[in-house]
Homo-oligomer: A and B are copies of this chain.
Amino acid sequence: MVKVVVLSGGVGGARFLLGLKAALGLPPIGPPASEPPSEPTDRRSNTGEHDISAVVNTGDDIWVHGLRICPDLDTCMYTLGGGVDIDRGWGRADESWVVKAELAGYGADPDWFGLGDRDLATHLIRTRMLHEGYPLSVVTAALCTRWRPGVRLLPATDDRCETHVVVTDSQGLRAMHFQEWWIRHGAALPVSEFVQIGADDAQPAAGVQEAIAEADAVLLAPSNPVVSIGSMLAIPAIRRALRSTTARVIGLSPIVGGRAMRGMAETCLATIGVRCEAGAVAEHYGARVAGGILDGWLVHTGDAATVPGLEVREVPLLMTDIAATAAMATAALDLAGLAV
């Protein structure tokens, strides 16, 4: 049995987890949510002989209409549980938008957030449990008893720790929630800074430090280095755990041929002064031997990069299908010293 920890954002991280499960011989997607577990053992977070924990970004989380939304956790849960809208990459398949239209009928703010009816049930249960005092990690585990993602989904933190964006518009400098910038403004407003509100005081959620400490390999999914991976690294105890684990920490570049594979990583990297190149992102994360968090770095074939203190390998990094993604995961595990 190998224990693998993945630091993950939303869509890209979820797809990488599908490939990692396949690489470890697990069915990428669990049984349909409508089917009850066929055997009691199916209720375990991990079946079979391998154990995957995903530490998932919560910096994008937002309260909307009184509901706690966790976009990245839900994207991972729905993707791995077979409930995601595959074309969109997030939210539920066969989604409807009746509640959203009714909220608009009331003129309720915000009107720009995509709150689907199916998705909303998840938020209702989460919000109710949070109000009852359960931490987000316990709530997430409860939601996963339905979706059975086959991966232990751990929120990076149970604390409120949100990414806010300092933007420049006609009124000068002002700050807004990451989601407002990302969704409402389509990331089109010039950004001067990303701020992880609450990161200094945030503690990793229950299980996160233990999972990293006990891992055989720690992988950084090819997620946004600033607002997905970066928001987790801003939590001091997560960075410390990565620096002190006996496992090798291997990252997969989200930059291929100088372009971000998805999302708006270019804008985010430019804001923090990092070139949009695979090697520059690795330098930003830093080698463990030089005070950073990485031992190895996978770049796309042809993206030659030399980073002092890091073992860099070139492999195809396009998640075109599960087989290609599984090959990426296998290469990452291999670089971590695990032959699976």
Contacts and interface: CB of A to CB of B under 8 A. Distances in A.
A70 to B, nearest CB: 15
A65 B105 contact: no
A86 interface: no
B99 A120 contact: yes
Nearest to A65: B124
Contacts of A291: none
Contacts of A319: none
Interface residues of A, number: 26
Interface in A121-157: 121-122, 124-125, 127-128, 131, 143, 146
A124 B103 contact: yes
A125 B106 contact: yes
A121 B103 contact: yes
A98 B117 contact: yes
Contacts of A125: 65, 103, 106, 108
* Max count, chain B CB within 10 A of own CB: residue among A117, A131, A143, A146: A117
Interface string A93-124: 00010110011011110000000011011101
Contact of A121 (B99, B127, B146): B99
A92 to B, nearest CB: 8
A102 B117 contact: yes
11 contacts: A33-B105, A66-B124, A66-B127, A96-B96, A96-B117, A98-B98, A98-B118, A103-B124, A106-B143, A106-B146, A120-B120
Given A98-B117, A99-B124, A106-B121, 12 more contacts: A33-B105, A34-B105, A96-B117, A99-B118, A102-B117, A102-B118, A105-B121, A105-B146, A106-B122, A106-B125, A106-B143, A108-B121
